[in-house]
Amino acid sequence: MQGFSDAFSENAAKMQISISEQQMQRFELYADTLVEWNQKMNLTAITDPQGIAVKHFLDSAALLQHVEVTEGSSIIDVGTGAGFPSVPIKLLRPDLRITLLDSLRKRIGFLDALCAKLDVQAYTLHARAEEAGKKTALREQFDVATARAVAHLRELSEYCLPFVRPGGCFLAMKGQEVEQELDEARNAIGMLGGRVQKVQKYTLPDGSGRAVVVIQKISQTPSNFPRMPAKIAKKPL
Torsion sign (Cα): 182, 93, 140, 77: positive
Burial class (CB in 10 A: 0-12, 13-18, 19+), 199: middle
**pTM, 2 dp:** 0.96
pLDDT in tens, 19-30: 999 999 999 999
Mean pLDDT throughout 79-105? 97
**How many other C-beta atoms are found inside a 10 Å radius of the C-beta of residue 184?**
14
141 and 165 in contact (C-beta within 8 Å)?
yes
Q: How far is 190 from 196, CA to CA, in rounded Å?
A: 9
pLDDT in tens, 1-51: 888 999 999 999 999 999 999 999 999 999 999 999 999 999 999 999 999
Q: Go through the domains of the chain in sequence order and give each one's CATH number.
A: 70-234 (3.40.50.150)
Q: How far is 181 from 177, CA to CA, in rounded Å?
A: 8
pLDDT at 149 over 80: no
